[in-house]
Amino acid sequence: MQTFRSELENPIVEKEIIELERKIRLFREGTLDSEKFRSLRLARGIYGQRQPGVQMVRIKLPYGKVTTQQLDKISDVSDKYATGNLHITTRQDIQIHFVSLDRTPELWEELAADSMTLREACGNTVRNVTASALAGVDPNEPFDVSPYAQATFEYFVRNPICQEMGRKFKIAFSSSAEDTAFAFMHDIGFIPKVKIENGKEIRGFKIVIGGGLGSQPHIAEPATDFMHEDLILPFAESLIRVFDRYGERTKRMKARMKYLIQDIGIEELLRLAEEERLALKNKVYKIDRGVEEISVPQELHPSNISNPFKYEQWRKTNVYPQKQEGYNSIGIKVQNGDIKTPIARKLANLVRIAAADDIRLTASQGIFLKFVKTENLPFIFEELDKLGLASPGFESVADVTSCPGTDTCNLGISNSTGIARELERVLLNEYPDIIYNKDIKIKISGCINACGQHAMSAIGLHGSSMKIGKLVAPALQVLLGGGGTGDGGGVASDKVIKLPSKRGPEALRVLLNDYEKNSGEGELYNQYYARQGKIYFYELLSPLANHETIVPEDFIDWEQSEPYKTEIGVGECAGVMIDLVATLIADSEEKIEKSQEAFNFRDFADSIYYSYSAFINAAKAILTSEGVKTNTQAGIIRDFDEHLVQTGKIELPVSFEELIYQINQQKPDEEFAKYYLDQAVQFKENVAEYRQAQLVVS
């Protein structure tokens, strides 16, 4: 597998950038249809914005790690190609907005020079591999999961098994049983474990699978309590191969691992994964545990503290003692995850002199600085305070998570960033001691899709709308009681009530005042919610949903001046195919070319999977031409036999199922790779001839 410490020197990357530029030109000329181009664009981190003619570009930063040099480069790129704002996401990426599509190849090239990539930051791929932001310094961790997250990223990026799945696939590594990376809401979640055998420490992971958010959140289910570290990537690959073949592809809302588990059960999923073992490139994959040497900054002179009260608040809420004695990590609260480039550059300069060159972005849209000496805490506080980055209450109730919502997202229904800012204002002004409470998490999404992770929070809100008389008002769906329970377990939030968005702050006051008044000694919020029950909270908040008390202000969204209109942008799934059959046959030809290329490089496992994809695309092309609808790759294989082989329309030496399922019945060696590629070429030619005959008749 290629690494990304010299991304621009990788000939594959150079080829991809040139190819992106060529495909953009073909798209502009009208010779590349929009759906085909969309798939290519998304797999390169380029996502259409709500505003026409501009793109959001997502920079993939495995487990949220970014160096000072990389932060400077991202700032330069944002100033040159975007708006000078960096948006930290809940998946530890950085997004920049309002980028011209035509300039994205040049932008990518500049990022690649500092070992950053856009590959598979969006699209139906393995998304950014996330991890606990304190991995490597967490006092509770059995071992540092950072190398494992890095290896997972490198293993799956550009891997043919996960380039065109039915939907996205998410993987997370938590540093301990506390599960601060939220393994419970991922397709695959890893939690480190150790055991002693013959006096020797053996590393492994507890694995949970099938978690997800969206309109129907699902808690991941345990797959194994302990898997040896050398087996986790082959296991992950086998699961992804099964998901690629059996996962839903037509109904997007059902095209996630959690629904596949609901359909076939976890035992059957694991059985199918075991069947893939023979076909895997690696039956065992030893991960390099090595981490880059940490350069510890020189001692700095103590600073006079200008605001002792704020400093004490900050030290209690934002400073985390590391497992390395004498060192601390510093949490930086970043409102809405947005940081301007001049501030980002000054932060990078501060890190160079006062912390390790290992900045970690967090799933709560914040930043962790690592290896700050205890005696330097006053100095770094003063410097952060000058930048507006020393607000106390990191990852407390007052540190609200929110997606961009209607600011830039096509799918946003109502404003999420404005309500987040207002809730933080209310909390800090009216509940000043709330900064010490890290039990309650408030998370907000602009729609039901849960990019703000509202479905797994103690107090969650998602954008909606509600009809009141003849008018429509921006609304918030209130969800309560969700979050992690530790060691890969969790609870999904309950939908409680919908109310006008402008009443969100009052709803928060009602919830906090009720909790303060009626909770028991030491009772955590979710425990209190579970004791009182959903109906109690519905009745508590129902006066705020009363339509009879509506005022004109309720029809205006946060930080807007005009009356609200429901204006959901054109989603990324709205492309129209010019000729689906021809496109699928062309895709098959493209996969055969990639298979031959991989074979020439003696990468036989990749060659075999590309040949498999060529079979699937060609078969789907003819089924489509015959009016047969297909939902899964397994369904394509079955239906091709039923409608074309068994009817004699296309002749094969064996059934299509027998032919294609050799992929998991043969070792991925040179002999089988050559045979499978030859069969794929012949099959594609048969399909092309059949299609040509169809067109002549018509």
- Give the tokens for residue 262: 């609901």
pLDDT greater than 50 at residue 577: no
- Give the tokens for residue 388: 């507006």
Query: Mean pLDDT lowest for which of 9-13, 291-295, 548-552, 571-575?
Result: 571-575
CATH of 125-291, one of 3.30.413.10, 3.40.50.1970, 3.40.50.620, 3.30.465.10: 3.30.413.10
CATH number for the domain whose boundaries are 410-555: 3.30.413.10
Q: Where are the extended beta strands (E) located within 43-84?
A: 46-48, 55-59, 65-66
Do residues 76 and 348 lie in contact, with contact meaning Cβ atoms separated by under 8 Å?
no
pLDDT greater than 80 at residue 580: no
* Band of pLDDT at residue 576, cut at 50, 70 and 90: very low
Q: Which fold has domain 308-386?
A: Sulfite Reductase Hemoprotein; domain 2 (3.90.480)
More confident residue, 6 or 49: 49
Q: What is the mean pLDDT of residues 649-672?
A: 95
What is the pTM for the complete model shown? 0.93
- Give the tokens for residue 67: 């160096």
More confident residue, 295 or 196: 196
* Band of pLDDT at residue 552, cut at 50, 70 and 90: very high
The DSSP code for 645 is I
Please name the amino acid found at residue 413. I
Q: What is the mean pLDDT of residues 191-209?
A: 96
Class of domain 1-123: alpha beta
* Sheet-wide strand order for 338-340: 46-48, 55-59, 94-99, 85-88, 338-340
Q: What is the mean pLDDT of residues 497-516?
A: 97
Mean pLDDT of the chain: 93
How many C-beta atoms lie closer than 10 Å to residue 258's C-beta?
A: 22
Helices 34-42 & 11-29 angle (0-180, nearest 10): 150
**At 268, is the secondary structure helix, strand, or coil?**
helix
Query: How far apart (Å, rounded) are the C-alpha atoms in residues 678 and 669?
Result: 14
Q: Which stretch of DSSP H or E encloses residue 366?
A: none
Query: How far apart (Å, rounded) are the C-alpha atoms in residues 496 and 461?
Result: 10
Class of domain 580-697: mainly alpha
pLDDT value, residue 578:
38
pLDDT tens-place string over residues 139-172: 999 999 999 999 999 999 999 999 999 999 999 9
Do residues 248 and 259 lie in contact, with contact meaning Cβ atoms separated by under 8 Å?
yes
Left (φ > 0), alpha (ψ -120 to 50) or beta: where does 693 sit?
A: alpha
CA distances from 380 to 39, 88, 361, 392 (A): 44, 22, 18, 14
Query: Mean pLDDT lowest for which of 47-51, 77-81, 345-349, 436-440?
Result: 47-51
Domain boundaries, the chain: 1-123, 125-291, 308-386, 410-555, 580-697
pLDDT value, residue 296:
78
Closest among 388, 408, 393 to 89, alpha carbons compared: 408
Residues in Cβ contact with 552 at an 8 Å cutoff, skipping those fewer than 6 apart: none
Q: What is the mean pLDDT of residues 289-296?
A: 79
Q: What is the mean pLDDT of residues 206-210?
A: 98
pLDDT value, residue 698:
53
Please tell me if the domain spanning 308-386 has the same topology as the one spanning 410-555.
Answer: no
- Give the tokens for residue 276: 């893939």
The DSSP code for 421 is H
pLDDT greater than 70 at residue 536: yes
Q: What is the mean pLDDT of residues 366-395?
A: 97
pLDDT value, residue 188:
98
Residue that the structure tokens 């799934």 belong to? 573
Do residues 108 and 102 lie in contact, with contact meaning Cβ atoms separated by under 8 Å?
no
Query: How far apart (Å, rounded) are the C-alpha atoms in residues 267 and 271?
Result: 6
pLDDT greater than 80 at residue 318: yes
pLDDT greater than 90 at residue 412: no
pLDDT value, residue 253:
82
Residues in Cβ contact with 678 at an 8 Å cutoff, skipping those fewer than 6 apart: none
Q: What is the mean pLDDT of residues 509-526?
A: 97
pLDDT greater than 80 at residue 372: yes
Query: Mean pLDDT lowest for which of 31-45, 97-111, 506-520?
Result: 31-45
Nearest 5 degrees, angle CA 175-CA 151-CA 289?
Answer: 65
Query: How far apart (Å, rounded) are the C-alpha atoms in residues 390 and 380?
Result: 9
pLDDT greater than 60 at residue 645: yes
Query: How far apart (Å, rounded) are the C-alpha atoms in residues 337 and 332?
Result: 10
Q: How many residues does the chain have?
A: 698
Query: How far apart (Å, rounded) are the C-alpha atoms in residues 75 and 106?
Result: 15
* Band of pLDDT at residue 414, cut at 50, 70 and 90: confident
The DSSP code for 126 is B
Query: How far apart (Å, rounded) are the C-alpha atoms in residues 136 and 514?
Result: 39
Query: How far apart (Å, rounded) are the C-alpha atoms in residues 80 and 70?
Result: 15
pLDDT greater than 80 at residue 570: no
Closest among 166, 133, 216 to 455, alpha carbons compared: 216
- Give the tokens for residue 438: 């890290």
